[in-house]
Amino acid sequence: MAKPLSKAHRTDQPKESAHPPGSEAVDDYLKAIFQLSGRPERQVSSTEIAAHLSITAASVTNMLQKLAGQNPPLVAYEKHHGVKLSKAGKKRALEIVRHHRLIETFLHEILDYPWDEVHQEAERLEHFISERFEERIAAKLGHPEFDPHGHAIPALDGSLPAQEPQALSQLRPGQSAKVSSVSDNDPEMLRYLAAQGIRPGVKLTLSEQLPFQGAYQVRIGSSTKPALLSHSLAEAITVSKPQQ
């Protein structure tokens, strides 16, 4: 008994690749490129991607060539000059980001995960949930627009609410703003921010910026004692000025 053992009887295509090319790794690259290209969109270098994914630049080049060779191509790749996502690549990247942020919200809201733990779990699960699962948790959560860190969840069609949040580090002393989002990939930082009472929606005022970009002193909500934030912390927080 060593027959073909067809698993999804197709009417005998010319070739059938057992390992479909679009898998977990591909998703990770597309998401990385999406997140690194920023807004307005710019080319992303192999080295950046390598650093982001903790792999070597050689591996990245290798993969970028495959992604560019797909039909349709997932990236526009110019040797030595980085990549941009193609239409198809962006679509897929947004699906993954949607998955990620819905899962984070779900873990926090339904399964009571602390907000510093949701990222890691979502990072793994985002590749494996079905459309069905996505639809079910979105419904269960009432089709949320933001995840627990304040990041916008792409809609099914890939659209994102227009937002112009700026980094907290851009504020000038005396200015007030509302916390829009906090970076989600460092659990320790999230615990620290939570302890300071800094989370999306909270209003704060930059009372003073210490010299040499050393630290930012902010007053949170109506509390009395101010918090001190390092520069990298202030870069990891986005704020929007309340109507004005």
Partner DNA sequence: TTGAAATATTAGCCATGACTAAATATCGCT
Partner DNA sequence: AGCGATATTTAGTCATGGCTAATATTTCAA
Going from the C-alpha of 115 to that of each of 95, 170, 203, the distances in angstroms are 22, 25, 19
| Shortest Å, Cβ 42 to DNA | 12
- The one of DNA, its own copies, none whose footprint includes residue 111, by CB under 5 to 8 A per kind, is its own copies
Quote the CA–CA distance of 26 and 33 in Å, as a whole number.
Answer: 11
| Shortest Å, Cβ 137 to its own copies | 7
Q: Is the peptide bond before 72 cis (omega within 30 degrees of 0)?
A: yes
Helix intervals (H) in 76-207: 87-109, 118-125, 131-140, 187-196
CA end-to-end span of the chain: 74
Q: Which residues within the stretch 6-35 sit at the binding site for its own copies (CB under 8 A)?
A: 7
In 3-state terms, what secondary structure has residue 56? coil
Name the one range near its own copies by CB under 8 A: 46-54, 94-102, 185-193, 228-236: 46-54
**Footprint of DNA on this chain (CB under 7 A)?**
1-2, 4-5, 17-19, 21, 23-26, 28, 45-48, 54-66, 77, 79-82
Name the one range near its own copies by CB under 8 A: 73-81, 84-92, 104-112, 203-211: 104-112
Tokens of 10: 């197709």
- The one of DNA, its own copies, none whose footprint includes residue 87, by CB under 5 to 8 A per kind, is none
Quote the CA–CA distance of 168 and 158 in Å, as a whole number.
Answer: 27
- The one of its own copies, DNA, none whose footprint includes residue 185, by CB under 5 to 8 A per kind, is none
| Shortest Å, Cβ 110 to its own copies | 7
* Four-CA torsion 46, 189, 109, 202, nearest 10 degrees: -110
* Four-CA torsion 232, 44, 184, 173, nearest 10 degrees: 30
Cβ-based nearer residue to DNA, 48 or 121: 48
Q: Residue 123 has what DSSP assignment?
A: H
Q: Which residues within the stretch 56-75 sit at the binding site for its own copies (CB under 8 A)?
A: 56-58
| Shortest Å, Cβ 61 to DNA | 4
- Residue 112 makes CB contacts below 8 A (sequence gap 6+) with none
- Where along the sequence are the contacts to its own copies (CB under 8 A)? 1-2, 5, 7, 47, 50-51, 54-58, 107, 110-113, 117, 121, 124-125, 127-130, 132-133, 136-137, 140
